[in-house]
C-alpha cells in the first residue's frame, strides 16, 4: 500500500459511519449502494463513494447485476482483515555519488537569509522569500543541528564552490546524515538560493 492509498483508506475509516458500514458488509452476503444508504441513513452518493473506494483498495468485490433490465452493482467483502502496510523505504532519499559530487555555493542576491545560532557555530534558521511587493511571503525553516553546521560551511557567493560531500567532510558531518543534509540542499535549490554546478 502506498501513501495515497493509505490516506484514502484512513480518510474513509475516520468517517462516523465507517464501522456501521463494515458491520453491514460483514453480515450481508452482498449489498447495493441504495440498500446500504437506506439502512444507514446516508445519501446514496455517500454510500456509493464509500463502496467504490473500498473496491478500488481491494477490500470489496463488485458485480454488475440486472433488475428489470436496469443494471446496478452489488458489493461483497473480500477480506475480514484490513492491514495498512506502508513501505517507508520507498520514500527514502537516496543519493548517488554523482549527486553528492555536485558543487554548490550560496547564490548571489538570493532571496534567502541565514540566522546564526546564539553560539555562532552553526545556522539555526533559513528564511526564504517568495513573491513580489505586497504579495511577498516569507517562509522560515528551522534547521537540525547537522543541517545548520553544513550551511555554516556552505561557500559564500564569491568563494569557490565545493561538493556536498566536501562540505560535509569540512563540517565533520557523518555520512549517515546524507539524506538529512540533502533534504535542505534540495529545499534551497528549489527556492533558487543555491548555485549548483556539476
How would you classify residue 172: left for phi > 0, otherwise alpha for psi between -120 and 50, otherwise beta?
left
The sign one gets for the Cα dihedral 163, 164, 165, 171 is positive
Average pLDDT over residues 22-32: 94
Output the pTM of the full model: 0.66
Q: Residue 8 maps to which CATH number?
A: 1.10.10.10
Domain-terminating residue out of 77, 108, 131: 77
Whose cell is 433488475? That residue is 67
Asked whether 102 and 167 are in contact (CB, 8 A), the reply is no
Tens digit of each residue's pLDDT (9 = 90 or more) over 35-54: 999 999 999 999 999 999 99
> CA-CA distance, 122 to 138, in Å (whole number)?
21
pLDDT at 111: 82
> Quick one: 115 and 43 in the same domain?
no
Tens digit of each residue's pLDDT (9 = 90 or more) over 144-184: 999 999 999 999 999 999 999 999 999 999 988 998 999 99
> CA-CA distance, 179 to 94, in Å (whole number)?
7
Residue 191's contacts (CB-CB under 8 Å, 6 or more residues apart) are: 111, 112, 128, 130
Helices 18-27 and 33-40: crossing angle in degrees, nearest 10, is: 120
Domain that holds residue 42: 3-77
Amino acid at each position: 500500500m502506498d501513501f495515497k492509498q493509505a490516506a484514502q483508506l484512513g480518510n474513509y475509516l475516520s468517517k462516523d459511519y465507517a464501522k456501521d458500514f463494515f458491520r453491514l458488509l460483514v453480515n450481508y452476503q452482498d449489498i447495493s449502494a441504495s440498500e446500504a444508504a437506506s439502512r444507514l441513513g446516508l445519501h446514496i452518493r455517500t454510500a456509493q463513494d464509500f463502496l467504490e473506494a473500498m473496491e478500488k483498495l481491494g477490500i470489496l468485490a463488485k458485480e454488475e447485476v440486472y433488475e428489470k433490465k436496469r443494471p446496478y452493482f452489488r458489493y461483497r467483502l473480500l477480506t475480514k482483515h484490513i492491514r495498512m502496510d506502508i513501505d517507508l523505504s520507498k520514500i527514502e532519499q537516496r543519493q548517488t555519488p554523482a549527486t553528492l559530487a555536485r558543487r554548490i555555493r550560496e547564490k548571489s542576491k538570493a532571496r534567502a537569509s541565514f540566522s546564526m545560532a546564539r553560539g555562532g557555530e552553526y545556522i539555526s534558521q533559513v528564511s526564504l522569500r517568495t513573491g513580489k511587493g505586497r504579495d511577498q511571503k516569507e517562509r522560515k525553516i528551522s534547521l537540525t543541528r547537522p543541517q545548520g553546521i553544513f550551511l555554516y560551511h556552505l561557500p559564500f557567493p564569491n568563494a569557490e564552490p565545493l561538493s556536498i560531500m566536501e562540505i560535509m567532510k569540512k563540517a565533520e558531518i557523518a555520512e549517515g546524515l546524507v539524506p538529512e543534509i540533502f533534504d535542505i540542499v534540495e529545499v534551497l535549490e528549489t527556492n533558487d538560493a543555491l548555485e549548483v554546478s556539476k
